[in-house]
């Protein structure tokens, strides 16, 4: 890391002459900047374990001529690193919700949209806040347009009403709609509503995530589905709504509904794989992990819709000169398909699905994106069979899933109050 920042003078001197070379090289593919100078550059990429995958960094290093290093950490640890040690990171996978903490704090810099080659191929739900058929995406929780467009190159302020501009706080990379995971062999009936996670039929066999911001939205989906309460905005509840939701949760917990509250990816996998739990809030790669052990597990589509989320690739404020050019190269590489295909096999969607498609086999693309039956056995990103030929992915096509987002992950205005009430729920 230090090697790249301690000798910027000589590098920047070279860079003056480099601009022309870089510009002219742009058409020839990777790498477009002069390989002699970039070979010492190390780009530190931080993210959550599900996207900061070492195999992606290895491939990038091979393709680009400079070194990319992945650093994975979870939730608050990751956010903490952005806020307190951002100089040790160069770029990062930033959840839309985390942008709420980062914008205006001099952690990131704006990225000129013009530097990004795949803007036209980026899902319109990010770039325009609408679906391809022109419907506007739901405005509950932190939507992409609330945090994406910056007013200027510093990237410290977002535009009014999410209006499009020439700078973004980060390049959209990954998105998905989350739902409940179930054990189809053990639930014993059709599950098609969020309300089922609170159903007494699954007493002692249900679980939710021990995370106030996500946990309460999942429960709110269930309570609303049950018809008990109509929320103004499930992603930004009023104090009264938080109270009603937490009170209902306390009651459910007292009745013995929940077997466990999970905090980490592997816990959610083990709860499901061992059969301790048959219905729970879950992530797509966790479902894939249970399935690749040969245990049936479904990421069950529910009639009320999905809880959506998204990640962007942002660049830290301190990155400049040659390293910044390298970042732009990496950013374009990142959205050119290889990483997108990798995370597609985890059940996520690349924000540029058409580029990811090129790196998937036709059978994989048909299975993961188009909701068609698997023509061959489908392998997990780590090479294990996770779906037998002939089966169809739960949730159908990309747009059947992403087109049905009911609420986005969120950081609420009343998050302080929410944390207090959540602690009350967990300690009761």
The closest of 298, 103, 107, 319 to 186, measured between CA atoms, is 298
Smallest gap from Cβ 108 to other proteins, in A, equals: 13
Smallest gap from Cβ 156 to other proteins, in A, equals: 12
Cβ atoms of residues 65 and 22 within 8 Å: no
Smallest gap from Cβ 208 to other proteins, in A, equals: 9
Smallest gap from Cβ 426 to other proteins, in A, equals: 5
Smallest gap from Cβ 179 to other proteins, in A, equals: 21
Specify the residue, 123 or 206, whose C-beta has the smaller distance to other proteins.
Answer: 206
Specify the residue, 309 or 367, whose C-beta has the smaller distance to other proteins.
Answer: 309
| Separation of alpha carbons 338 and 349, rounded Å | 12
Specify the residue, 87 or 361, whose C-beta has the smaller distance to other proteins.
Answer: 87
Backbone angles phi, psi at 408, to 5 degrees: -105, 150
300 sits in which H/E element: strand 298-300
Q: Give the list of residues 6+ apart from residue 97 with CB closer than 8 angstroms, or none.
A: 142, 213, 309, 409, 410, 411
Cβ atoms of residues 359 and 340 within 8 Å: yes
Cβ atoms of residues 121 and 355 within 8 Å: yes
Specify the residue, 216 or 288, whose C-beta has the smaller distance to other proteins.
Answer: 216
Coil, helix or strand for 47?
A: strand
| Separation of alpha carbons 216 and 222, rounded Å | 10
Specify the residue, 278 or 366, whose C-beta has the smaller distance to other proteins.
Answer: 278
Smallest gap from Cβ 309 to other proteins, in A, equals: 17
| Separation of alpha carbons 379 and 388, rounded Å | 9
Positions that interact with other proteins (CB under 8 A)? 75-76, 79-80, 83, 100-101, 104-105, 204, 207, 210-213, 253, 258-263, 270, 274-276, 411, 415-416, 418-420, 422-424, 426-428
Smallest gap from Cβ 32 to other proteins, in A, equals: 37
- Please give the angle made by the CA atoms of 226, 231 and 232, to the nearest 5 degrees: 160
Smallest gap from Cβ 164 to other proteins, in A, equals: 25
Specify the residue, 101 or 119, whose C-beta has the smaller distance to other proteins.
Answer: 101
Coil, helix or strand for 145?
A: helix
Specify the residue, 226 or 253, whose C-beta has the smaller distance to other proteins.
Answer: 253
Specify the residue, 80 or 391, whose C-beta has the smaller distance to other proteins.
Answer: 80
In the DSSP assignment, the letter for residue 121 is: G
Specify the residue, 100 or 318, whose C-beta has the smaller distance to other proteins.
Answer: 100
Q: Give the list of residues 6+ apart from residue 404 with CB closer than 8 angstroms, or none.
A: 177, 301, 305, 306
Specify the residue, 107 or 288, whose C-beta has the smaller distance to other proteins.
Answer: 107
- Please give the angle made by the CA atoms of 55, 56 and 59, to the nearest 5 degrees: 85
Please tell me the chain's helix, strand, coil percentages from 3-state DSSP, rounded to the nearest 5: 45, 20, 40
Smallest gap from Cβ 147 to other proteins, in A, equals: 13
Smallest gap from Cβ 316 to other proteins, in A, equals: 17
The closest of 64, 105, 59, 97 to 78, measured between CA atoms, is 97
Backbone angles phi, psi at 40, to 5 degrees: -90, -10
Token pair listed for 202: 């699954």
Place of tokens 């879950």: 282
């Amino acid at each position: 890391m230090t090697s790249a920042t301690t000798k910027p003078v000589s590098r920047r001197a070279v860079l003056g002459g480099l601009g022309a070379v870089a510009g002219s090289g742009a058409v020839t593919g990777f790498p477009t900047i002069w390989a002699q100078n970039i070979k010492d550059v190390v780009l530190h990429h931080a993210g959550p374990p599900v996207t900061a995958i070492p195999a992606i960094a290895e491939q990038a290093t091979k393709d680009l001529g400079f070194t990319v290093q992945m650093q994975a950490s979870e939730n608050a640890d990751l956010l903490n690193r952005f806020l307190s040690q951002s100089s040790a990171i160069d770029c990062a996978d930033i959840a839309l919700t985390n942008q709420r903490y980062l914008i205006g704090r001099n952690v990131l810099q704006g990225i000129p949209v013009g530097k990004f080659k795949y803007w036209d191929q980026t899902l319109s739900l990010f770039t325009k806040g609408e679906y391809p058929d022109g419907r506007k995406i739901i405005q509950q929780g932190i939507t992409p347009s609330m945090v994406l467009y910056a007013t200027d190159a510093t990237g410290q302020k977002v535009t009014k009403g999410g209006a499009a501009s020439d700078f973004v706080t980060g390049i959209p990379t990954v998105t998905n709609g989350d739902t409940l995971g179930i054990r189809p062999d053990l639930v014993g009936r059709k599950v098609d509503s969020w309300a089922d996670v609170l159903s007494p039929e699954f007493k002692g066999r249900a679980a939710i995530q021990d995370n106030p911001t996500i946990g309460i939205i999942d429960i709110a989906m269930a309570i609303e589905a049950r018809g008990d309460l109509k929320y103004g905005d499930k992603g930004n509840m009023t104090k009264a709504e938080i109270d009603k939701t937490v009170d209902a949760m306390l009651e459910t917990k007292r009745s013995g509904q929940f077997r466990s509250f999970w905090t980490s990816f592997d816990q959610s996998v083990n709860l499901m794989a061992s059969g301790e739990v048959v219905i729970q809030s879950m992530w797509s790669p966790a479902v894939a992990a249970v399935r690749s052990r040969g245990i049936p597990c479904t990421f069950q589509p529910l009639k009320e819709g999905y809880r959506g989320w998204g990640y962007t690739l942002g660049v830290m404020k301190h990155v400049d000169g040659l390293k910044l050019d390298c970042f732009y190269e990496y950013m374009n590489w990142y959205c050119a398909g290889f990483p997108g295909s990798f995370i597609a096999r985890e059940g996520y969607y690349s924000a540029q699905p058409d580029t990811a498609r090129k790196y998937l086999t036709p059978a994989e693309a048909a299975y993961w994106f188009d909701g068609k039956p698997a023509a061959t056995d489908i392998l997990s990103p780590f090479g294990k069979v996770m779906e037998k030929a002939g089966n169809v992915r739960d949730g159908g096509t990309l747009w059947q899933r992403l087109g049905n987002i009911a609420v986005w992950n969120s950081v609420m205005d009343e998050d302080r109050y929410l944390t207090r009430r959540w602690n009350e729920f967990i300690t009761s």
